Amino acid sequence: MTDTQVSAQQSVAERAIAEHIRLVSSGQIDEWIDLFAPDAVLEFPFAPTGVPGAVQGRDALIAHMNNFPKTFDVKFVDLVFHQTTEPTKAIAEFRSTGRAVTTGKPYEQTCISVVYTDAAGRITRYVDYWNPLVAIEALTPGTDGAGADQVAFGS
């Protein structure tokens, strides 16, 4: 299976994750939002200070993600699903490879996502486990780490 190819055997939730990473990596945020239920929540358990731990509702989600393509130029690769017993729940592991647009620094991140969908296959809850220190380093100008407290995420 290619990095984001969807197979017929995948669960509804697995298909939602595969589409999520395809659309985000190609900068298609207007299409990406259609993957989510109206009251969906995107959670960030490791969010750094000053960054919301959760974003809820389609308007808030689109506002949060709108700048992602202007911030990071990434591809998501090595997508692996970990089996669950629920077709509306999926656990995925994948990597991002690319760079921060403003600094040109590499953005190499390993992610684990837990996604829940409704019966229609729309994402109701997306728990995004990523390392904010990798993003801070990529977005911080220079090599000495000065200015890391000025880094902005999301909206």
State pLDDT tens for residues 117-143.
998 999 999 999 999 999 999 999 986
Residues 27 and 83: their CA atoms lie apart, in Å, by: 28
State pLDDT tens for residues 26-46.
999 999 999 999 999 999 999
**CB 4, CB 21: distance < 8 Å:** yes
| Predicted confidence (pLDDT) at residue 88 exceeds the cutoff of 50 | yes
State pLDDT tens for residues 65-81.
999 999 999 999 999 99
Confidence at 6, pLDDT banded by 50, 70, 90: very low
Q: What's the predicted TM-score (pTM) here?
A: 0.84
Average pLDDT over residues 95-99: 96
**CB 134, CB 109: distance < 8 Å:** yes
Residues 6+ apart with CB under 8 A from 146: 140
Average pLDDT over residues 54-61: 97
